[in-house]
Amino acid sequence: MAVASPPSGPPPVPPSGAPPVPPRGAIDWAARIHTLKGEQECGDSYVLAPFPQGVLAAVIDGLGHGSEAATAARIAAETLRERAHHPVADLIKHCHAALYKTRGAVISLASIDTANDRMAWLGVGNVEGMLIRAGTNVQPGRETLLLRSGVCGYQMQPLRTTTLSIFPGDTLILVTDGIDSGFIQAVSPLASPDTIAADILSRYVKETDDALVLVIRYLGTKA
């Protein structure tokens, strides 16, 4: 089973109610979370869930902030963990149904197939995604997640999944809109996931919203 390894340094604290993240395996990772000042709960959450051929990564942003946003994010996270092996478009549809009576959430997913070194990803809303290539001979050097407008639980455009090859050393970054979009200009692909996540949060966090950064370094399974 392909599973995730803990980041170097102090491990991040998963969102309230989240089960422990998967142990060591085909990815290295780090997450950093910022809760809006004055709120007791963060409306942003992440998922790392292994399945027989790989691992599902997701970042969820419950609309707004506070307890209602956190409830929506928690429901979406539970829905994804229970179905981690499903295609990403189906996962979004399951979240859309599960969030119908909540304030909704925007979600970006990446399903990493470690058996075939491929990744399928999909985003609804404004959780930005970027894949930074480790190899200089792979073009383009950066891949950007194509986002569909909408809100899971409310209204969505037709879904479109993109599938691409992924290589050992490639770095996937997912951020909520509490992070300024200029973050990508300062990312070094040679830095550790923990360093990248901490640097993005410290330099690009907006103090007017919750924020979350998830960084995944693909290690592969053939080494």
pLDDT 10s digits, 85-101: 999 999 999 999 999 99
Within a domain: 167: yes
Residue 14 lies in a domain: no
Q: Does 223 fall in a domain?
A: no
Q: How far apart are CA 74 and CA 81, in angstroms?
A: 11
107 lies in which domain range? 4-9+20-218
Query: Do the strands 105-113 and 54-62 form a parallel or antiparallel pair, or are they unpaired?
Result: antiparallel
| Residue 15 located in a structural domain | no
Does residue 202 fall inside a structural domain?
Answer: yes
Residue identified by tokens 């290539």 is 133
In this predicted model, what pLDDT tens digit does every residue of 167-202 receive, in sequence order?
A: 999 999 999 999 998 898 878 888 999 999 999 999
Q: What is the pTM of this model?
A: 0.88
For residues 196 and 173, the answer to whether their CB atoms sit within 8 Å is: yes
Domain presence at residue 137: yes
In angstroms, what CA-CA distances link 82 with 60, 78, 214? 15, 6, 20
| Domain-embedded: residue 62 | yes
Domain CATH code at residue 41: 3.60.40.10
Please state the domain count of the chain: 1
For residue 48, list its beta bridge partners: 57
